[in-house]
Amino acid sequence: MCGIVGYAGKSLAAPVLIDSLKKLEYRGYDSAGITVLGSGIETYKSVGKIVNLEAEIPKKLGGNVGIGHTRWATHGRPSTENAHPHNSGKPGKLSIVHNGIIENYLALKEQLIEEGYEFKSETDTEVIVHLLHKHIYGKPEGNEVKCGLLDGLREALKEIEGSYAVATVSSDEPGKLVVAKKDSPLVIGIGNGENFAASDVTAFLAHTRDVIFVDDFETAVLSPEGVEVFNREGDLLNKTVEKIEWDFEAAEKAGYEHFMLKEIHEQVSAIHSTLSGKVSELEGAIYLEELTLGDDEIRKLSRVQILACGTSWHAGLLGKYLIEQIAGIHCDIDICSEYRYRNPVMEGGTLAIAITQSGETADTLAAVREIRSYNCPTLAITNVVGSTITRETDSVLYTRAGPEIGVAATKTFSTQLTLLYLLAVKFSLVRGRSSPDYVKNFITELRKIPGQIQQVLNQKEIIKECAENFAGAKNYFFLGRHLNYPIALEGALKLKEISYVHAEGFAAGELKHGPIALLAEGTPVVAIATRGQTYEKMLSNIKEVKARDATVIAVADSKDTEIGKYADVVLRVPPSDELLAPLLSVVVLQLLAYYTALALDCSIDKPRNLAKSVTVE
């Protein structure tokens, strides 16, 4: 969601902070700001794009320590007053940036106002900086330092309920940057004579690949000379410095008009990378070494509980079908924002699988923490090494998709599905439901998928023409059955996200139970009709749609000669195993959404009101 950055080094802080904020633009934001420690606290903020902020900053702003922020409004409308950083003290003594939600901010705000603190914003964050000032200086007009910035922050955070990643600076400690974390992402970059803090490694990857991941309730002090990290009790920690292997150039557009289009094309390599080292056609084996569940534990599983949000929930829904059909294990799936509030019934023999692209999705993390109270084994499927979810679960499977900059998930969805296929087949093999020969054949078909996706991509001009022809439609319907139902939901979501066209996905068999009343002449209906056990039923649904004068866009395999009799437009995918066809159909729908948004001149990589990582509830 929001992005935070911090710098302590020998270079001018302002250009470094601005460059780092630009690297976080993909997360979505409505305002931005920086504070630099020069002759004192110097803060500059603006609404809108970072270029607006740049225009506010003096060309030769001095200072080698500073903090910055991109804000996505939660408490208070988008405005300069509500933008971060927020300051406290007269003259300005302290400045802070914050990601997260302070749940008891109203009570704290009332208390601080009674004590004489003046609030200039509607945000919950301003509570933190005034509370920090109170612990360091004692009262609003206070100038006498009663404790240092680090100790003051520790004391202030003890009064706060909720989530936070904060970075703060003080005019009385000009060479220091102090940070803290609970339930929101925070990472430190270790440089040569300079050190960085950010909510995402992308912010400083151009400067260093050596990082320290900050855990909950930890605090850290950054200076040009080094980094010190402390635990909740204030003890100095010996944190492991990890190296980020992927190159920031991978996050550039590489000649594509948009990141989303680039990432749709990268599904070919992303799926290949996710499979690498995990499958053996020769042995008919699946290797998931990161999975801590032993074979005996897998055999004893009576239930799988999948937890996810948004696009990851669609992947999980397909995963439910795969785990039940292939592995024969009862599987439930829940939307995380609902799961934790419905008093779930959990018991032994249940594996919880949390799916989150960023590994920082607030609702998913909360659901995992809820489920851990039942002592169930937990597994995360994520794309981000070192993200919070990796420290909250027993096992982690990484999608190996590389950085995904476009807000609308594409390659991370396909690689999530790839791991779910492997899990289902692995469980089936261990539980004796599948033979090594079946697994060999399945792996052979799965290995064909990247090449088959490339065949779909080679037809993008046909999909583009279709998108342009229907770009004026006000409503879209997506239909699928069985394994294609989650893909219909995902296709509708992609169209909504980036083109702002109203779209709904339905289980095709439910059409007659109400949604068919919405069909009108010319309404485009995308029917996913690849060959399989529900193919004939889909043809019946297509006929129902045509009888209402709607227009059918069918996704079907290239050898299907029947579908053209009923559909107005047919978008083709290569013939494949029925179980694997969703990996091909979804690419068609991603391209359809992309080219529709392009025809409508929409902001594709950063659609309105959306952010890449939803790190607050």
Selected catalytic residue, list 2, 309, 336, 466: 2
> Is-contact 389 354, C-beta < 8 A?
yes
Contact by Cβ (8 Å): 319, 306: yes
Query: Cα–Cα distance between 574 and 447 in angstroms, integer?
Result: 14
CA distances to 103, 132, 219 from 106, rounded to whole Å, are 8, 16, 25
Burial bucket for residue 393 (CB in 10 Å: 0-12, 13-18, 19+): buried
Smallest CA-to-CA distance from 330 within 342, 314, 346 is with: 346
Pair type for strands 330-335 and 395-398: unpaired
The residue written with tokens 């294990």 in the block is 329
Q: Where are the beta strands (DSSP E) in 239-280?
A: 242-243, 279-280
3-state secondary structure 282-345: CCCEECCCCCCCCHHHHHHCCEEEEEECHHHHHHHHHHHHHHHHHHCCEEEEEEHHHHCCCCCC
Question: Please, what is the end-to-end C-alpha distance for the chain in angstroms?
Answer: 10
How many Cβ atoms from other residues are within 10 Å of residue 20's Cβ? 28
- By three-state DSSP, how is residue 361 classified? coil
Phi, psi torsion values for 402, nearest 5 degrees:
80, 175
Looking up tokens 């003594």 gives 93
H or E, element range at 211: strand 210-213
| Residue 160, Cβ density class (10 Å: 0-12 exposed, 13-18 middle, ≥19 buried) | buried
Among residues 109, 176, 494, 612, which one is catalytic? Answer: 612
Judge contact between 12 and 64, C-beta under 8 A: yes
Determine whether 458 is exposed, middle or buried from the number of CB atoms within 10 Å of its CB (0-12, 13-18, 19+).
exposed
Told to judge if 139 belongs to the known catalytic residues of this protein, a careful annotator would answer no
Catalytic site includes residue 466: no
**Residues facing 479 on adjacent strands:** 506, 527
Cα separation, 199 vs 51, in Å, equals 21
The residues annotated with a catalytic role in the active site are 2, 612
